[in-house]
Amino acid sequence: MQGKVGLSSTDSLHVIKKKGYSRPKSYYDGKSHRPNPQNNKPGPSQGCQSAKTGQTYKCLKCGTEHTRANCPAYGKICKKCGQKNHFAVGCQANKNKSQPKRTVHETKVGLEEVEDLFISALFQDDFTMAATCPKDDAIQSKERQRTSTPSRPKEVVEQISGTDKVQMLSWMQPVIINNQTVNFKLDSGAQCNVLPSHVLDKLKLPKVRLEHNQNRILSYDNQELNCLGNVILDSEVNGVNYKIKYVVVKTKSVPILGLNACVKLNLLQRVNSLQLDSESLASKDKFVNKYKEVFTSVGKFPKKFSLELKENAKPVVNSVRRIPESVKPKLKEVLDRLIDNNIIEPVDYPTDWVNNIVIVEKPDKSLRICLDPAQLNECIKLDPFPIPSADE
């Protein structure tokens, strides 16, 4: 303690408060420093760039800009991980997971052009996948008369599986390969003939040598299929033998005959127009004439329908709206037709209720007339009972 000579203890205390007192440096030797209170101030929450009141920042939890403590993701459940207080756009669940490595195989083709072949439809486990397709290999068609050797029972190697609805929507063609029947799907969108490897194995062909395929086989979602190579097999279609080139892929799918094969084998034919013969037109006219009242007249209910008004209902007479001169001839023609069909009837005497009409011109320049009973609808008692159906 440092003080002045001749001062009392009270005066010495005031002198210390006035000048201040600092501990010697040796006091802190061997001791940890006290934390700075300023360092313990709470910082901005995760995703915040500024903690000032009223200032917006880019939030990493919802992906939008907003002020502090106004995040729209608070209390919401993420659709990606199921946790609270963030959206899927700000989910951190899968960001730390390492992406699986993809192995890329490089193939040297030389000077020939590599082409992408697309498969438009594949069946896998009773599930249909649709796609689009490119261009393919030629079928070396060589017609030969069927040999007169005695026929042996043929084993069905591959059949489409699924519901009757899928089978109806799919066109299948049996092809005989090595005296065994394989059902191929006719796919006008495929650019090559696809033969799955498991079907090729079941055929048990002797000495099958796969040629290298330089083209990529892509599915509808641009996913490359595992192509094992090409093979040319003797195939019998509708009693005629052909040499057909197939692309062997390692996938659980249905064999496919592409567009080129379907056209050359006369399995598909493009039809640009349809014409009805005279008999079809005559049967149509006969049917219309037989039920002429259905196609010409307007149906009516046999009984009259009565509307009951509320007790405090006050009749309203709306003022007549002006009709453009260019519309009057068409309006008169429509009204006359409605009168002739007994849909409306003319009124030439004063009535308690007068409602306006709304005239709308159709795209074919004809008129549609609608009644506008706005005040009348407010005064009608509603019927709480449902309208009977046709079966009732």
Query: 154 to each of 59, 194, 238, 314, 344, how far by Cα in Å?
Result: 68, 21, 15, 87, 74
Strands 240-249 and 194-196: parallel
Q: What pLDDT score does 276 carry?
A: 64
Report the phi/psi class of residue 226: left, alpha or beta, with left for phi > 0 and alpha for psi in -120 to 50: beta
Q: What pLDDT score does 24 carry?
A: 54
Q: Which residue bears the tokens 């209170």?
A: 37
Query: What's the CA gap between 368 and 342, in Å, rounded?
Result: 17
Q: What pLDDT score does 91 carry?
A: 87
Contacts of 276 (CB under 8 A, 6+ apart): none
Query: What's the CA gap between 236 and 146, in Å, rounded?
Result: 9
Number of CB atoms found within 10 A of residue 139's CB:
21
Helix, coil or strand: residue 328: helix
Domains and CATH numbers, the chain: 57-91 (no CATH), 170-265 (2.40.70.10), 306-379 (3.10.10.10)
Query: What's the CA gap between 8 and 293, in Å, rounded?
Result: 128
Residue 262 phi, psi (nearest 5): -65, -35
Q: What pLDDT score does 16 carry?
A: 53
Q: Is residue 355 classed exposed, middle or buried when 0-12, 13-18 and 19+ CB atoms within 10 A define those classes?
A: middle
DSSP structure class, residue 392: -
Number of CB atoms found within 10 A of residue 351's CB:
9
Contacts of 25 (CB under 8 A, 6+ apart): none
CA nearest neighbour of 124 among 216, 182, 196? 196
Contacts of 359 (CB under 8 A, 6+ apart): 323, 327, 331, 367, 368, 369
Task: With beta carbons less than 8 A apart as the criterion, state whether 162 and 105 touch.
Answer: no
Q: Which residues pair with 216 in a beta bridge?
A: 116
Over the stretch 274-297, which tens digit does the pLDDT of each residue have? 676 666 667 878 888 888 877 776
Helix, coil or strand: residue 37: helix
Strands 65-66 and 172-177: unpaired
Q: What pLDDT score does 289 carry?
A: 85
Q: What pLDDT score does 117 carry?
A: 57
Q: What pLDDT score does 13 carry?
A: 52
CA nearest neighbour of 178 among 162, 200, 198? 200
Q: The tokens of 133 are what? A: 């397709």
Secondary structure element (H or E) that encloses residue 259, with its range: helix 259-264
Q: What pLDDT score does 295 carry?
A: 76
Q: Which residue bears the tokens 């080139």?
A: 245
Q: What pLDDT score does 23 carry?
A: 56
Q: Please list the ranges in the chain whose pLDDT falls under 50.
A: 1-5, 27-28, 30-51, 98, 101-114, 121-167
Query: What's the CA gap between 263 and 276, in Å, rounded?
Result: 25
Number of CB atoms found within 10 A of residue 50's CB:
13
Hey, what's the torsion of the CAs at 282, 286, 287, 293, to 10 degrees? 140
